[in-house]
Amino acid sequence: MSAASVGLIADQLLLVERALRLQGCWEASAPSAEALASVEPFCVDTLDFSQWLQWIFLPRMKAIIEAGGELPAVSGILPMAEQVYGAGSREAAELLKALGDFDRLITAGR
């Protein structure tokens, strides 16, 4: 993946964070270590989807980028987000757009 593509993905992660904050879903305190250690997809048994985005997804993606690691070949976060947020508010629409754009950037980078 080119440096330009990685830069676009990093920028997109910032937009996901911004959308979470605008939606009022950004939390000041992390969930318990046990909740974060879930092995279920999206930690559905221990976290809300917005918590998973904040405490699992964003930190992992940022760590991969900062370490120069291999980003995923595909991403399918948008369908889960659509299931969670549905049509929702304007803020939810912004989050859905940010996640959809992230999915497309990951796929296009391959």
Q: Is the CB of residue 13 less than 8 Å from the CB of residue 40?
A: no
Instruction: Report d(CA 62, CA 25) in Å as an integer.
Output: 19
Instruction: Report d(CA 45, CA 42) in Å as an integer.
Output: 8
End-to-end CA distance of the chain, in Å?
7
Token output for 27:
């939390």
Residue 39 lies in a domain: no
Residue 36 lies in a domain: no
Residue 59 lies in a domain: yes
Residue 104 sits in a domain whose CATH number is 1.20.1440.40
| Residue range 27-61, pLDDT digits in tens | 999 999 999 999 999 999 999 999 999 999 999 99
Residue 19 lies in a domain: yes
Number of domains composing the chain:
1
Residue 72 lies in a domain: yes
Structural domain range at position 75: 3-28+45-108
Instruction: Report d(CA 66, CA 40) in Å as an integer.
Output: 26
Q: Which pTM was predicted? A: 0.91
